[in-house]
Structure formats: C-alpha cells, structure tokens
Chains A and B, each alone.
Chain A
Amino acid sequence: MAGYLLRRLTLAIPVLLGILFVTFSLARLLPGDPCHSALGEKATPEICAAFNERYGLNDPIPEQFRIYLRDVLRGDLGNSIKFGRPVTELMVERLPVTLELSFFAMTFAVLIGIPLGIVSAYYHNSAIDVGTMIWANIGVSMPVFWLGLMLSYLFGVALKDTPFWLPPTGRLTAGRIIEPFYQAWGLDVDGSALTLPGFIANINTLNALLVRDWAGFWDALKHMILPAMALGTIPLSIIARMTRSSLLEVLGLNYVRTARAKGVHELSVVVRHGLRNALLPVVTIIGLSLGSLMSGAVLTETVFGLSGVGRILYDSITGRDYTVVQGFTLVIAVMFVFINLIVDTLYAYLDPRIRLE
C-alpha cells in the first residue's frame, strides 16, 4: 500500500511540471496585449514599452519561464496587473469561498446521490427506480445558472416570510462578522498574506466552528445551501445513476449469490458485499465531478453573488490579467492532481487487487 502511494506521488511530479509549463505558455499565447488591457486603449507605445520593461515582458520567453518557476517555488505568484495586489493575497480571499461551495455541493451530491442509487438498484424496475432515474436525467440536463435562478426565486423570494426562506445571495447576512479564529485564539497572523490560518479563517463555516460562534455558523451555512444545491445537482444525478448501474451489475455477480447462499441478510448483502465493489466507478465519477465543479462554480458564484475563484478567473481572462489567470489555473490544476491522488488512494483502499498492480 505504501509503495503504491509512493509510486503515485512520484508520478505526480512530472504532471505538476507539465502544468507549470502549460499555464505559463497559455498566458503568453492568449491574443491581446497586457499593456493595453491594464492601462487602457489610449496607452502610448512609449508607456507600453516602459510597462513591458517593468513587468519583464520584454525578456526572452525561456528567461521569463525560469523566473516564473523560481517565483512559484518561493510562493510568489506575481502581482495582479488589474488589482495591483499579490495574486496570493487574492487567493487567500477567493479560494476558500469556492472550496467551501464545492465541499457543500459535493457533500450534498454524495449524501443524496449514493443512497438514491442504492434504493433504485434495490427496487430495480419499480416505480421508485423509474421515478428516481427520470429525476436524475432531468437533473443532469439542468443548466446550472437556470437552476440557480429558480432556486433563489423560490427560496429567496416566493418563500419570503416563511420558515423556509433562505438567503439568495452573499456569504453572510449584512453586518454579521465572525471573528477570525486566529484573533480569538490570540495568534499573531497577518490575515491577508498567504498563510494557512488566513486561508482557514476565510472558510466561514469552518472558522465559525473553530470560534464556537453557532449563530455565525448557521448563518454561513444557510447562505451555502442554495448555491450548493444548484452546483451539486448535476454531480448528484450522475452519482445516483452511476451507483445504480454499478450496483445492479455487482448484485448479479457470483460472490453476491455466495453471500446470499451463506445466509447473509439481504441488506447486508447489498451494503457489505455489493456496495463496496460497486463504489469503484462511483469514486472515479466523484473525482471527475470535483473538477467540473470549478466550471460550474463560475456560473453559480455569479448567480449567488459570491466572490470566489470562478468570478475572478472570468474577470481576469476578459481583462487579460495574465498573472491572475496563470496563478489560479496553476492552483486549480494542482488541486486536480491532488484530488486524483486521493481517488487513487481510495481505490487502493476499496480494492486490494489494485494495491498489487
């Protein structure tokens, strides 16, 4: 098991290098000119020359790449041309929002999708099964932004003044402040710099738990429900369908018959013998969905007024803010690599045959 993980980790290194190269190149290959987009269309050639000189854009490309690599390894992702602030600072602000959103969306998708899949497979071809699968098909084809708008209308407007009302926008009710946990704990931390405490403090729900601000936690959670539902519906539907078909296949296999012949109770047959084997493809799907959540996040964050990674990426691409695009793409790609690493680990845990490979 340890050897298997070590091999996977080693394999991640060339992948990470490749990612660095691609993010760097992509930014250079984009059409348009950073000078004009940063300083406006009226910038004179002289000003632009000075601009390019200042940001090292006149250096040969390989030299730019060398400097880029060096800086990345030092934890310096450059300054945003548009915001005039370090990209890392933006990251500490934005990344927690998207991570929190993705976490709740995925939790929603997994906690509901897998049981739905199990029930559908167990009551195969029954009304429950057919009904669930019809809804799953609708869910998969639902445009995220449309679902987001409908949800905020339903829960934010139509159900106003009822107990079911949910905030349709923002991360916290205006005026509510949750004290960052490092302040409450008396730690000396610069909250805006690239530090782990600063990062964690920006995950509102987690921070509220750390400082035991239950009202704050509930408020932050309430703000997450609608966006998480909007973002989680597609992965939920995919997970439910995958769990169902995978479990159905497994339940027809010989060792499931053996379990029944041993006198194992039906529920135990499905969960102990069926589910664990059926989860392998589901884990793959969950890993892949986590990646696609990022693209869904752009729309969800826009609809629900959350300033996360999706929003800033979109703004930076249209504004040709190279360093920001580069920085965030890099971080997202690295996250992807680690998600895959986690998926591989789960694989090995679930299936002993993979550990040998």
Chain B
Amino acid sequence: MADRTGDNGKPPAEELPLLQVKDLKTYFFTRRGIVKAVDGVSLTVRRGEIRGVVGESGCGKSMTAMSILQLVDKPGRIVSGEVWFKGENLLARSRREMTAIRGKQIAVIFQEPKSSLNPVLKVSTQLLEVLKVHQDVGRLPRTEEAVKMLKEVGIPDPERRIHNYPHELSGGMAQRVMIAMGMACAPDLLIADEPTTALDVTIQAQVLDLIRTLRNERGMAVMLITHAMGVVAEMADVVTVMYAGTAVEEAPTLNLFDEPLHPYTRGLIASIPVMGQRKERLEVIPGRVPNLIDMPPGCRFAPRCRARVEHGLEKCTVEEPPMIEARPGHLVRCWLYEGDQR
C-alpha cells in the first residue's frame, strides 16, 4: 500500500485532484522590501495520496501550507494564484467559510508539538474544542469521545491522559494528541508540517507510521512537508522539491530517487550520508539560498549550479525556466532538459 508510486496514472486522468495549487504567490511586505516567500508554486494532491514537499528551511514550504489555509500573518499576503480544493477556489472563500473548512476538511499538524498545544488547557478540552466548533450547536461533545480519539492514535491509558496538561506529555505523545485533534472531523486532507523534526528518532518512526496507518485506514490525503529526504523516501507517493519559493521538481518518489533531474535535487540526495560508505567529507551544495527580497534573474538556482557551468548554459542567468516534463510524470524546472520535453 505504501508503494503506489510505480503505477503513476492509476487514478483516471479526468479525476479532479483533491487539492490543486496554481501559481500561488505569497509575499511579505516589510520595510526592507518585498519578501517573496512563495513565488509561483503549483502542486496537486490527489485523494488518498501522500504528497511529499521537500526543501531546506525558508524555501516556502510551510508558507505554502499556511497560504492554503489562509493563515498567513501580517505583513504577509497572498498576492495571486488559485487554491482549488474539491472543485472550489479557497481563495474566493470568505473568512467565515475558511474557518468552517479549517480543522474539518483540512487539518494541520505542526513541528514542535509541545508548544503547539495550549499550556493552560487540558488535553480533553483541546481535543473536544475541534468537535465543538465544527458540529451542530446544541450538541456538547462528551469526554468519552476524547478518550476514543486518543485511543485511535495509540496513546496508552487514554482515560488518564485526557486530564493531563500539555506539559505533562512527552513530545511524541503531544504529537499524537495533535494528530488526534487533526483526525477528529475525518478531514480529506491532512497537512503535516515537519511533524517529526522536534522528535527523537525512534519516536519519529512511530509518528510517521501512525500517519501512514491513518491514511491507509481512512483514505485521506496527506501533504507531508519536510526537509528530510529520508522521511520523503519512506513516506511519500509523489514528491515536490521546492527551492527559494518555487517548485523545481516533481515526480513519483521512486523516479525521483532513481533519477533526480534537477541539479538542486541531485545535490540534496548526494548530501545524504550513506551507511557503510566512508567519505572524507559529505557532499555540499556550494553557495547559499538567494535572498528572497532580491532574487537573481533567471533560474534561482543558477548561482549555485555546477551543471550550468559544466554544460556552459548561459540562458540560466537570464530567463527562468518553466516546468518541463522531462520524463513521463516527471517535471523539472531546468534548462538542461529543454530538448527532452515531449
């Protein structure tokens, strides 16, 4: 079940994707200039699939998620783009309508679960709040429902745990509570924003397992945001690689790891240490992520790109490449593949 990647195109091509983000731009208007945190991101999530979104810190992956939910704080603003969810453009929804969608149809879990829970409210209060805000008025959720929710995410002794405060939980336990909260209304899409970054390695595996199991049982789609290639390899059906505010490569997971096309993706994969292999130094990508206020013209990765130099490409510093379908189902934003386009 985890491996749905090979049979790309298994769902009929006409089927409407659950989530379709088109050319999304979210800018932050600061005194020092306009920070283009998300600058033309497009991605789709199909029903039931785990979509990995990978990239280093500050590449705009979390901000893409926040933009989908319209939870971008000032001075940030969604400048343009479309977010189609179940056939409706969310950006055209009112604030009130978005409040009804959040937590019910699209749920989120965050990095640092312990600080994501309110320190002064009991676990049960926070769990039941989701039901309270999304169910018909007049029906008060009962404590047993909170117990049931905790049981489903595998928290031992849930009858006792619901009376705990967040500071009495471990990090892994807190993330399970967050997941339980996210699952409360059986959402169609779960956005997991670095769900394991703050956790111990063993707990990481457990939490990822839980997310996969829940996906398999309930058939919800997951948008898994992470900076760890390993997590993506293990979890995702399809991957979007982001760099400096935009998507640079998109492919089924197996294809991506078999044959990474974008020089940035190659660099990322090469920088993963491999067990049993002795190396003097790990591979690094030279240079730094460009300043999001003052983006270089042309390809954003060009200043750091070895392939550009090796192939003597000059177009890169002048014109930004479009997404090119270099292999079937494998998209890449790089001039190297201009000729490969079908």
The answer to whether A and B belong to the same complex is yes
Given the complex, which residues of B lie within 8 Å of A351, measured CB to CB? 119-120
The docked-state distance in angstroms from the alpha carbon of A261 to that of B105 is 11
| Interface contacts beyond A261-B107, A263-B100, A276-B120: sample of 9 additional A-B pairs, CB < 8 Å, sorted by A | A254-B115, A258-B181, A262-B133, A262-B181, A263-B103, A263-B133, A264-B133, A273-B118, A350-B120
The docked-state distance in angstroms from the alpha carbon of A261 to that of B133 is 12
Q: Which of B102, B104, B121 contacts A260 (CB 8 A)?
A: B102
The docked-state distance in angstroms from the alpha carbon of A264 to that of B115 is 18
A263 with B167: CB separation less than 8 A: no
Given the complex, which residues of B lie within 8 Å of A266, measured CB to CB? 95, 99
> Can you report 24 A-B residue pairs in the complex whose CB atoms are below 8 A from each other?
A254-B112, A254-B116, A255-B115, A255-B116, A255-B118, A258-B110, A258-B118, A258-B178, A261-B71, A261-B103, A262-B103, A263-B99, A263-B102, A263-B103, A263-B104, A265-B133, A266-B95, A276-B120, A277-B118, A351-B119, A352-B119, A353-B119, A353-B165, A353-B167
In the assembled complex, A253 has its CB within 8 A of some CB on chain B: yes
In the assembled complex, B325 has its CB within 8 A of some CB on chain A: no
Task: Give the residues from 113 to 161 in chain B that come closer than 8 angstroms, CB to CB, to chain A.
Answer: 115-121, 129-130, 133-134
Please indicate which of the listed interface residues A254, A259, A263, A356 has the most CB atoms of chain B within 10 Å of its own CB.
A263
Q: Mark B56-87, 1 if CB is under 8 A from A, else 0.
A: 00000000000001010100000000000000
Task: Give the residues from 337 to 357 in chain A that come closer than 8 angstroms, CB to CB, to chain B.
Answer: 350-353, 356
A263 with B101: CB separation less than 8 A: yes
The docked-state distance in angstroms from the alpha carbon of A273 to that of B115 is 13
The docked-state distance in angstroms from the alpha carbon of A318 to that of B120 is 50
Given the complex, which residues of B lie within 8 Å of A265, measured CB to CB? 99, 133
A255 with B102: CB separation less than 8 A: no
In the assembled complex, B108 has its CB within 8 A of some CB on chain A: yes
In the assembled complex, A257 has its CB within 8 A of some CB on chain B: yes
A257 with B133: CB separation less than 8 A: no
**Smallest CB-CB A-B distances: 8 pairs:** A263-B103, A262-B103, A263-B102, A254-B115, A255-B118, A261-B108, A352-B165, A254-B116
Residue of A nearest to B106 (CB): A261
Q: Which of A261, A277, A352, A353 contacts B102 (CB 8 A)?
A: A261
Please indicate which of the listed interface residues B103, B118, B130, B165 has the most CB atoms of chain A within 10 Å of its own CB.
B118
Given the complex, which residues of A lie within 8 Å of B103, measured CB to CB? 261-264
Task: Report A's interface with B, CB cutoff 8 A.
Answer: 252-255, 257-266, 268, 273, 276-277, 350-353, 356
Residue of A nearest to B130 (CB): A262
Q: Which of B95, B112, B129, B167 contacts A262 (CB 8 A)?
A: B129
Given A263-B99, A263-B101, is A254 in contact with B120 using a C-beta cutoff of 8 Å? no
The docked-state distance in angstroms from the alpha carbon of A254 to that of B117 is 8
- Expressed in whole angstroms, the minimum distance between the Cβ of B122 and any Cβ of chain A is 8
**What is the size, in residues, of chain B's interface with A at 8 Å between Cβ atoms?**
29
B99 with A253: CB separation less than 8 A: no
Residue of B nearest to A263 (CB): B103
The docked-state distance in angstroms from the alpha carbon of A268 to that of B120 is 15
The docked-state distance in angstroms from the alpha carbon of A352 to that of B134 is 27
Residue of A nearest to B108 (CB): A261
- Expressed in whole angstroms, the minimum distance between the Cβ of B110 and any Cβ of chain A is 6
Residue of A nearest to B167 (CB): A353
Residue of A nearest to B107 (CB): A261
The docked-state distance in angstroms from the alpha carbon of A268 to that of B110 is 21
Residue of A nearest to B98 (CB): A263
- Expressed in whole angstroms, the minimum distance between the Cβ of A322 and any Cβ of chain B is 48
Given the complex, which residues of B lie within 8 Å of A259, measured CB to CB? 118, 129
Given the complex, which residues of B lie within 8 Å of A350, measured CB to CB? 120
Given the complex, which residues of A lie within 8 Å of B181, measured CB to CB? 258, 262
The docked-state distance in angstroms from the alpha carbon of A263 to that of B104 is 7
Given the complex, which residues of B lie within 8 Å of A356, measured CB to CB? 167
Given A263-B133, A263-B134, A264-B129, is A258 in contact with B100 using a C-beta cutoff of 8 Å? no
- Expressed in whole angstroms, the minimum distance between the Cβ of B181 and any Cβ of chain A is 7
Given the complex, which residues of B lie within 8 Å of A254, measured CB to CB? 110, 112, 115-116
B134 with A260: CB separation less than 8 A: no
Residue of A nearest to B104 (CB): A263
Q: Which of B73, B110, B115, B130 contacts A263 (CB 8 A)?
A: B130
Please indicate which of the listed interface residues A258, A260, A351 has the most CB atoms of chain B within 10 Å of its own CB.
A258
- Expressed in whole angstroms, the minimum distance between the Cβ of B187 and any Cβ of chain A is 10
Residue of A nearest to B70 (CB): A260
Given the complex, which residues of A lie within 8 Å of B129, measured CB to CB? 259, 262, 264
Task: Give the residues from 30 to 61 in chain B that come closer than 8 angstroms, CB to CB, to chain A.
Answer: none
Given the complex, which residues of A lie within 8 Å of B167, measured CB to CB? 352-353, 356
Given the complex, which residues of B lie within 8 Å of A273, measured CB to CB? 118, 121
Residue of A nearest to B112 (CB): A254
The docked-state distance in angstroms from the alpha carbon of A255 to that of B107 is 14
Given A253-B115, A254-B112, A352-B165, is A261 in contact with B120 using a C-beta cutoff of 8 Å? no
Q: Mark B159-192, 1 if CB is under 8 A from A, else 0.
A: 0000001010000000000100100000000000
Please indicate which of the listed interface residues A259, A262, A268, A356 has the most CB atoms of chain B within 10 Å of its own CB.
A262
Residue of B nearest to A262 (CB): B103
B133 with A352: CB separation less than 8 A: no
Given the complex, which residues of A lie within 8 Å of B71, measured CB to CB? 257, 260-261
- Expressed in whole angstroms, the minimum distance between the Cβ of B244 and any Cβ of chain A is 24
Given A257-B71, A263-B104, A352-B167, is A277 in contact with B119 using a C-beta cutoff of 8 Å? yes
- Expressed in whole angstroms, the minimum distance between the Cβ of A257 and any Cβ of chain B is 7
Residue of A nearest to B69 (CB): A261
Residue of B nearest to A276 (CB): B120
- Expressed in whole angstroms, the minimum distance between the Cβ of A272 and any Cβ of chain B is 8
The docked-state distance in angstroms from the alpha carbon of A253 to that of B130 is 19
The docked-state distance in angstroms from the alpha carbon of A356 to that of B167 is 10
The docked-state distance in angstroms from the alpha carbon of A237 to that of B1 is 62
Residue of A nearest to B75 (CB): A125
Task: Give the residues from 177 to 230 in chain B that come closer than 8 angstroms, CB to CB, to chain A.
Answer: 178, 181
- Expressed in whole angstroms, the minimum distance between the Cβ of B93 and any Cβ of chain A is 13
The docked-state distance in angstroms from the alpha carbon of A352 to that of B168 is 10
The docked-state distance in angstroms from the alpha carbon of A353 to that of B134 is 29
Given the complex, which residues of B lie within 8 Å of A257, measured CB to CB? 71, 110, 116
- Expressed in whole angstroms, the minimum distance between the Cβ of A55 and any Cβ of chain B is 55
Given the complex, which residues of A lie within 8 Å of B119, measured CB to CB? 255, 277, 351-353
